[in-house]
Amino acid sequence: MSAPTLKTPSNPTTTAAPAARKRSTRQNKSMAERLIAPLFLAPTVIGMAIFTIVPILASVLLAFFRWDIISAPEFVGFSNFADIVSDPTVRVSFLNTIVFVIVAVTLQLGIAMVLAVAIQGRMPNWLRVFFRSAFFFPLILSAASVSIFMGYLFNEQFGVVNWMLSVVGVPAVPWLTTSGGAAAVVVLVYVWQNFGFSFLLFVGGLASIPKELHEASALDGATGWRQFVNVTLPLLSPTVLVASVMAIISALQVFDQPYVLTRGGPGDSTRTAVMVIFESAFQQLEFGRASAIGLVLMMLIMAITALQFRLSRRFVFYQ
Amino acid sequence: MTSTQSSGQGNSTLARAGDLSRRTLLGALGIGAVGATVGAWPRLTGADIPGRNSTALNVAILGTSADAAARQALVDEFTSLHPDIPVRIQAIQGADWRDFFSKILTMVAAGNPPDVVYVATEGAQLFAKKLAEPLDPYLTRDAADIQEYFQDVHPSLIEAFMYRGSLYQLPLDWNAANMYLNTSALQRAGLDRPADDWTNEDFTAVMRAMKSTTDGSFTPYYWTNRLFGGVVPWLYANDTSFLAEEKATGGDWFWDRFYSKDPTRSLRSGGYLWETPNAEDPRVIETFDYLRELVAEGLGVRPEGGGGNALVGLFASSRIGATPAGGYWVQGLHEAGMGADDFDVQFFPRWRTQRHQFGAAGYAIMRTAKDKDAAWEWVKFCASKPAMELAFPTPNTTPTRRSMVNQSLYASTGPEHWKVFYDTLDRFPTSGPIPAPPQQAAVETALMKNVSVAVSGSSAQVRSAMGSLQRDLELALRSNQ
């Protein structure tokens, strides 16, 4: 009896010690685990904070000031926003941007999808690789360099494009000096340079569609266009959503092509929202006004993206 | 039991090893992070930005590293005279002057402004109003040293850098918008070089004659859409401008001291002021309508923006008959293979006047300069004749010193009538600078966007475009610069 009596006080101690150690180890481990995640996240979070969050907040703040870099900022309340609402150039630039997005993104996605589907057809593998590379190649070029080069090609007097047209009897087209011509060239150059990215997304999306589905639909008599509309397109819809979101965000920020090719002209016909931001900030030294326009553009991008995701519930089909 | 124990021990050992490993990893990461921070400290703090915390005089120019290297002889000569003032040339690339000024302003915002900046007329008033130090006390102090420079430089060029009675820069090079003529195009049309006092009607006739003797790949008159050499020379010739031109009072201290005996002394002022839009002036509309007719008739191109980078090649290959440009074009045409007789230059055509447009450039001392006295020594040195001879060995611009614009400069390049370059100022002393108020960038944007519309449609479209230009200029001029 005495033994248990003797053992009783020691037993909890001897059994509790390892348990306490385990708890302690578990606590240490969980603390270490709790630390590891933030440590690994820290570089990204710090980077984002310094290079994204802080500038965005600073930009929001700056939108309520008048600042020319040189003098001290002056608080002006909502006056920058009132200015941009009443400024016809800003209104036209946003309208141009929206029209540009509609036309350019439609062309970009359309061309990319047609070409992606086309290279799925029968052809030697080396030719497929060649096409993939060729379609993607423009994307790796500097937009400014491409635009300078295209400016020469589309020069009314001395450009190669008009020379080729003259060979077949077409009179010289004032590509860059008329509103319609300039807008067409800007869209053309932008789409030529950017469709390669959507193309690659579609190639990846098409490759992920099980062949069995196509074979089954073929057995049921669905071929060609019908198969594309009823089988390929629904299964490709998640890729279409991603490609369209990225294409629209990118197109809303178009700058290089119109800036280099036309400087926004003739008139304001190719002036875009980002061009007005650049001109306000770095040419007119109105950084507050530029920030206000930037904020409006950011909200527009967010609204359009949110709308896309909302609408995607209706047309995107996930396997 | 044994196996369980040993298994438990094994797990514990593994766990401890795992804990140790993670600690080691975290420690290594921590050391790595600290090391990286220490290593990147100059970058993180911006201490490694070229020019920052440097005692050298930081001189910013528009150009490439090759342009900076080309100035090394100048720097070496200056250093031999002033061994206590180290100089660092910082070449900043830009598509045009507007782009260059934007980058300078960004450097100012970043807390790393240069001490001295080479500024063209386009930015003279922006710098004078916001950034530059007036040279007045230095000119007064060193009047005896600098007198020789002013004796050699036309006062019109100096007046372009006066702002509200103070002088901010000593111009070193300049260019007027003269008219370059392609000799072979003239010969094909059976024409001689036009007379000095040719009119805009004579000009139209010359362009028609050139067009009638060539095919569709030839353009008689090529012009660009910008502040220099675009529509403004025509406006000046028609005795008007899209901005009302006024003169500031003041500056007599300077003119009386350095140009008291100049025959044009009475014309001089405290500098130009462009504060009121004038786009709807009937003469402005008349000028635009004239250019629109040139375009409609196929005598001139619809102007594109930019500096006309391809222009030298097109002119050299005889695909252009005439274009407005200054002495800066000579070397380019020479290098493009044009002989001295393949092109010539003439004054800009007369309309109501034969007033010319010109642009010039020189060094401005920044208000934030570390050592303004050292900066002034650089400015003064660069304005000396030996320094200018080092800086401008070829005719890729026109030196502001009259004595340097001579036969030897153009001996191997032409043109035959090179005297036109400097004679422009002597023959037409009211010639004026590029209309560039402190809001130059906004003004140029407004002008460019409406010029292209005005000259590309009907006569009614000219009036509409001028109305738009007037509104845009009102907005531009009320901005905060």
> Domain locations in chain B?
51-176+246-275+358-436, 178-242+278-355+439-477
Phi/psi of residue B10, each to 5°?
Answer: -60, -45
Question: What is the torsional sign of CA B122, B127, B129, B135?
Answer: negative
Per-10-residue mean pLDDT of chain B, 481 residues long, equals: 43 50 80 86 70 82 84 93 95 88 87 94 95 97 97 98 98 97 95 97 97 86 88 97 97 96 95 97 97 94 70 87 94 93 97 97 96 97 96 94 96 95 96 95 90 88 94 84 52
B102 vs A247, higher pLDDT: A247
Which of chain B's residues have a Cβ under 8 Å away from the Cβ of A155? 304, 310
Same domain, A94 and A26: no
Dump strand ranges (E) for B132-188. 162-163, 166-167, 169-176, 178-182
Residue type, B359: G
- Answer whether B480 sits within 8 Å of A285, measured CB to CB: yes
Residue B214 near chain A (CB below 8 Å): no
Let me know if residue A1 belongs to a domain: no
Confidence band, pLDDT 50/70/90 cuts, at residue A226:
confident
Same domain, A218 and A248: yes
Residue B10's pLDDT is 46
Residue entry with tokens 């611009």: B397
Same domain, A141 and A84: yes
Residue A72's pLDDT is 87
User: By C-alpha distance, which of B196, B225, B189, B393 is closest to B311?
Assistant: B225
Residue B108 has its nearest CB partner, among A69, A172, A284, at A69
Residue B314 near chain A (CB below 8 Å): yes
Question: What is the torsional sign of CA B358, B361, B362, B366?
Answer: positive
- At B446, list the tokens: 């407004």
Query: B residues 318-357 near A, CB within 8 Å?
Result: 319
- At B265, list the tokens: 């002394």
The CATH number assigned to the domain holding A197 equals: 1.10.3720.10
Distance from CA of B9 to the nearest CA of A (A): 12
Length of chain A: 319
Give the structural domain span for A297: 80-315
Residue A228 near chain B (CB below 8 Å): no
- Answer whether A36 sits within 8 Å of B22, measured CB to CB: yes
Query: B residues 28-87 near A, CB within 8 Å?
Result: 29
Residue B68's pLDDT is 78
Residue B479 has its nearest CB partner, among A32, A156, A286, at A286
Residue entry with tokens 């002022």: B269
Same domain, A182 and A220: yes
- At B269, list the tokens: 């002022």
Residue B312's pLDDT is 84
Most A CBs within 10 A among B231, B294, B445, B462, hence the mutation to make, goes to B445
Same domain, A38 and A110: no
Distance CA B402, CA A239 (A): 69
Residue B6: which residues within 8 A CB-CB, separation 6 or more? Answer: none
Size of interface A-B (CB pairs under 8 A): 108
pLDDT of A148 strictly over 70: yes
Mean of pLDDT values over A56-68? 93
CATH of B51-176+246-275+358-436, one of 3.90.1150.10, 2.40.50.140, 3.40.190.10, 1.10.238.10: 3.40.190.10
The third-level CATH classification (topology) of the domain covering B178-242+278-355+439-477 is D-Maltodextrin-Binding Protein; domain 2 (3.40.190)
Q: What is the DSSP letter of B85?
A: S
Distance CA B84, CA B384 (A): 19
Distance CA A237, CA B214 (A): 58
Chain B residue with CA closest to A50: the answer is: B44
pLDDT of A135 strictly over 60: yes
- Answer whether A155 sits within 8 Å of B304, measured CB to CB: yes
Residue A20's pLDDT is 63
Rg for chain B, CA atoms, rounded: 29
Same domain, A107 and A173: yes
Query: B residues 245-264 near A, CB within 8 Å?
Result: none
Residue B6's pLDDT is 43
- Classify burial at B159, counting beta carbons within 10 Å of its beta carbon; exposed 0-12, middle 13-18, buried 19 or more: buried
Q: What is the DSSP letter of B438?
A: T
Q: pLDDT for A186-206, tens place per residue?
A: 999 999 999 999 999 999 999
Confidence band, pLDDT 50/70/90 cuts, at residue A5:
very low
Let me know if residue A145 belongs to a domain: yes
- Answer whether B310 sits within 8 Å of A285, measured CB to CB: no
ipTM over 0.95: no
Distance CA A179, CA A158 (A): 19
Which SS3 state, helix, strand or coil, does residue A197 take? helix
Distance from CA of B181 to the nearest CA of A (A): 18
Let me know if residue A73 belongs to a domain: no
User: Domain tally for chain A?
Assistant: 2
Same domain, A194 and A294: yes
Residue A266 near chain B (CB below 8 Å): yes
Residue type, A7: K
Residue entry with tokens 């809001």: B439
CA distances B91 to B73, B164, B168, Å, are 15, 30, 21
Same domain, A159 and A308: yes
Which SS3 state, helix, strand or coil, does residue A22 take? helix
CA B466 from centroid of its chain's CA atoms: 26
CA distances A117 to A132, A213, A245, B114, Å, are 12, 16, 20, 56
Let me know if residue A295 belongs to a domain: yes
Let me know if residue A42 belongs to a domain: yes
Residue A152 near chain B (CB below 8 Å): yes
Distance CA A195, CA A251 (A): 11
Let me know if residue A4 belongs to a domain: no
Phi/psi of residue B346, each to 5°?
Answer: -140, 160
Residue type, A232: T
Same domain, A39 and A179: no
Same domain, A160 and A302: yes
Let me know if residue A97 belongs to a domain: yes
Residue B312 near chain A (CB below 8 Å): no
Chain B residue with CA closest to A160: the answer is: B217
Q: What is the DSSP letter of B265?
A: G
Residue A316's pLDDT is 82
- Mean pLDDT lowest for which of A15-29, A111-125, B262-276, B353-367? A15-29
Three-class HEC string of A84-141: HHHCHHHHHHHHHHHHHHHHHHHHHHHHHHHHHHHCCCCCCHHHHHHHHHHHHHHHHC
| Residue B229, number of CB atoms within 10 A of its CB | 26
Same domain, A91 and A51: no
Residue B307's pLDDT is 59
- Mean pLDDT lowest for which of A35-39, A156-160, B301-305? B301-305
Q: pLDDT for A86-104, tens place per residue?
A: 988 999 999 999 999 999 9
Residue A139's pLDDT is 92
Same domain, A152 and A238: yes
Reported as half-sphere exposure (CB side, CA atoms, 13 A), residue A164 has a value of 6
End-to-end CA distance of chain A: 70
Average pLDDT, chain A: 88
Residue B319: which residues within 8 A CB-CB, separation 6 or more? Answer: A157, A158, B217, B218, B219
